[in-house]
Chains A and B, each alone.
Chain A
Amino acid sequence: MSSFLQNYFVSFIAGLLNHQPLAWILYGIISGAVILGVLSAYGALAVYAERKIMAFMQCRLGPMEVGPEIELRIAGMKILPKGWYGLGVLIADGIKLLGKEDTVPAKADSLIFKLAPAIVFAATITSFVVIPFAPFFTPADIDAGILVILAASSIVAVGIVMGGYASNNKWSLYGAIRSVAQVVSYEVPMGLALLSVVMTTGSLALADIADNQSGWAWNWHAFSNVWLFIAAIIYIISSLAETNRTPFDIPEAEAELVAGYHTEYSGMRFALFMFAEYINMLLVSLIASVFFFGGYYSGIQWLDRYYFLGPFVLGAKALLLVIIMIWLRWTLPRFRVDQLMTLCWKAMLPLSIIAFVGAAAALFQTSLVFAIFWRFCILILLALFAFEVAKGIRTKSISRKATE
């Protein structure tokens, strides 16, 4: 299936300019600019969201109150109260990062040092071109979209190694080594989890995978059978490792490696690394949404024909996952390197193979009985999880009462 909007746009410009290749280039530039613009806005807001969620969880006052002492009024209308809900920090942060001295350590490999953040950033945003944002609208509708994503996300690791190696700092080098080990390991269960979906769908194109999940929410891959449900969980856990987020943030473990591979970076180069990390969070969440949680379909069949809802539905799902990642970061401690590897090779990999084989077996059982049975299994899993959570909440309230 080709991307409708893309073809329409290109043929429209080609008609105007009477030049097909130029139209393609123009299309690339425009869609690239749109993606970059949206991602910049997202990056800033994600940092803001991280601060706010952190502040709620840690009783911090700063991110809640620090800001200009004047109300923001536009045409007499009150837009923001005093303090601007902490939004002023965002502006101050941007100015600070731009104003900082751009230092390169004296004995660093200057070229590689400067190139590294650019590579990380570029590799991260490359993947966005193959994400389907709505039916018939993928910026670049490639048949093997998922391969592009996997390839690009591996290049991120190359950039991190370059940064860590070129810094000429032993702690940075440690961060780089850990990062490579981590990414290489976690791509295996991650790839297998994605492969289970690819096998179920029979296509590597992300738009096809999303279209396979139209209709009601139980058609979403994660809820269609128990194996893909397991694959979804494996993917989400591996994606935490892929993005270097807690509890897998060992490449930049503050307590051990100072700041890991970006210890020596300052100013905008550092900002690029951070920016790439936040964008990467969005990327893995988008992929999780497309592969497992219905993509641009809202899960309500009646809404499926309103194509314009697609980007919003997809965005909402992805942002929810991003928020969960932020939530985890401020709750959990960090794994140790060997524990991370043990978890990957001894728990996640066997589980993902089981999920893969299970998904393959499920392909042959298309009768209604099985369809209901798999969903029933998922319900039981979810109920068990809910039960555990409820138990946790209950013990907490009991302990509170007992002490009061």
Chain B
Amino acid sequence: MTVHGEELVINMGPQHPSTHGVLRLLLKTDGEVVGEALPQIGYLHRCFEKSAERVSWNGVVPYTDRMDYVAAISNEWSFVLAAEKLGNATVPERGEYCRVISAELQRIASHLVAFGTFGIDMGAFTPFLHAFRDREKILDILEMMSGARLLYHYIRIGGVMSDCDSKICEMIKLFIKDMRTRLPEYHQLLSYNRIFIERTANVGIITREQAINYNITGPNLRATGMEWDLRKCDPYSIYDRFEFKIAVGTCEHGVSGDSWNRYMVRLIEIEESLKILEQAVEQIPAGPISAAIKVFKPAPGEIYARTEGARGEIGFYVISDGDLKPFRVKAKSPSFCALSGFHEYSRNLMIADLVALLGSIDIVLGEVDR
């Protein structure tokens, strides 16, 4: 026998600790059970796409930083890739390596934030600070590379802004060594904690069909067991030179596509990124880091370019009319896609499970609203 009470409508957010920014969820609850959760977005809309039409091609890059501010480099790269394809610009070898190194560092940093905040969502505060301690080292390295700690503006059209010299490579090697001792600690502290598994396994399942229908990409898709990673499936830059595996949901606990597997995919990806970093630091050739482009003025045309960001496929559809400014820029953001089906896979969860689901799809509201 089930008892149904009166429906209570609650606002979760935009000021709520576990909506990770300014997301507002309209919950229709019956006791602890949430019948329906409707995401209301737009609290962080900054007219990125319109602003991009007003600035030069290179000037758009710092705007893209501000989309997904937790993983800024992947946004930059995607836009720059689109611009380069339009303008037929080539990137020197060393520049490509610098891009890979920065992007993989950024991916680790982003996944560390996801790991830490997910810990907080589950009530464990300590993993968060441990993750931020390790992220701090990445930020130090990226600061040495670009001069900034959060919004880098590091990748430019034709190459990168500054070199990844031997000193930075040494730092990265140290970091790789250090990070590999940390991961078992993370697993012990959170991943294989009995309560944590109880809370996340079999909770907030996104099936593979749902994921494909809503165009969910990145770790959220891979957690369903689908091997889809643009670095392997549609290789860009020099990713075909590195050996790494596509991290997919292990199903060690729970079923594929649940919160635990989404969480685990990120931790496995940290390991894989460390592998790529290790190889990149070894292989990095000498040479210029950037092609000399005085005035970037691509021919009229349109293009869609995509990269594998920390949150999934981040793409830019760009139209050029042969001017110094882009005619139209449209971003495809993985967080928006992950959120667009939220009403469907959040049905009939408990409030605590809703938090687990929201934390494990790891959205950044700056990217949802742009």
Contacts and interface: CB of A to CB of B under 8 A. Distances in A.
A404 interface: yes
A169 to B, nearest CB: 10
Contact of B16 (A258, A335, A395): A258
Contacts, number: 96
A128 B355 CA distance: 39
Interface in B9-34: 10, 16-18, 32
Interface string B179-193: 011011100111001
Given A247-B195, A256-B18, A332-B195, A337 B129 contact: no
B130 A58 contact: yes
B133 A255 contact: no
B170 interface: no
A246 interface: yes
A404 B181 contact: yes
B126 A58 contact: yes
Contacts of A246: 123
- Mostly, the B contact residues are helix
A258 B15 CA distance: 9
B345 to A, nearest CB: 18
Contact of B198 (A60, A171, A249, A339): A339
A50 to B, nearest CB: 12
A225 B122 CA distance: 37
Contact of B195 (A57, A257, A335, A403): A335
B120 interface: yes
Given A255-B120, A330-B125, A332-B124, A337 B352 contact: yes
Interface string B330-364: 00000000000000000000111101000100000
Contacts of B180: 403
Contact of B184 (A58, A255, A396): A396
B196 interface: yes
A253 interface: yes
A395 B188 CA distance: 10
B292 interface: no
B123 A399 contact: no
Contacts of A82: none
Nearest to B32: A337
A54 B130 CA distance: 12
Given A58-B130, A170-B10, A255-B17, A333 B123 contact: yes
Interface of B: 8, 10, 16-18, 32, 119-126, 129-130, 133, 177, 180-181, 183-185, 188-190, 193, 195-196, 198-199, 350-353, 355, 359
Question: 10 smallest A-B Cβ distances: which pairs?
Answer: A334-B123, A399-B184, A58-B129, A333-B124, A333-B122, A255-B18, A403-B180, A336-B352, A255-B121, A333-B123
